[in-house]
Amino acid sequence: MMFVLSDEERDLLQDFADEHGIDDVRLAVGILLREYIQVMDALWEIKLAQPNTTLDALIAQVDRDAQADQIVLARGAAPL
């Protein structure tokens, strides 16, 4: 994988590597991406913990669809 960084981005990445005691700035990219994913996961956990009528309606529809499939399957129809 190749990254093209501006001077400012390179400096920020170097600062990140220095803060984490990483000698090779190339290794910092993977660690930075993992930290980014952890932060995004935490933000989604917070977001999903909030009431969300659109998401709740979607979940209810999926539940109804799943129950309908179970009823059809209970009558002997083969799953798609």
pLDDT for residue 73: 42
pLDDT for residue 70: 61
- Domain holding 18, by residue range, is 7-49
For 24, the 3-state DSSP assignment is coil
DSSP secondary structure letter of residue 77: P
Of 7, 8, 6, 25, the residue nearest 17 (C-alpha): 25
> Is there a single domain that holds both residue 64 and residue 40?
no
> Is there a single domain that holds both residue 19 and residue 32?
yes
> Is there a single domain that holds both residue 30 and residue 18?
yes
What is the reported pTM? 0.54
pLDDT in tens, the chain (80 residues): 788 999 999 999 999 999 999 999 989 999 999 999 999 999 989 988 888 888 889 888 888 888 877 644 444 555 54
pLDDT for residue 72: 47
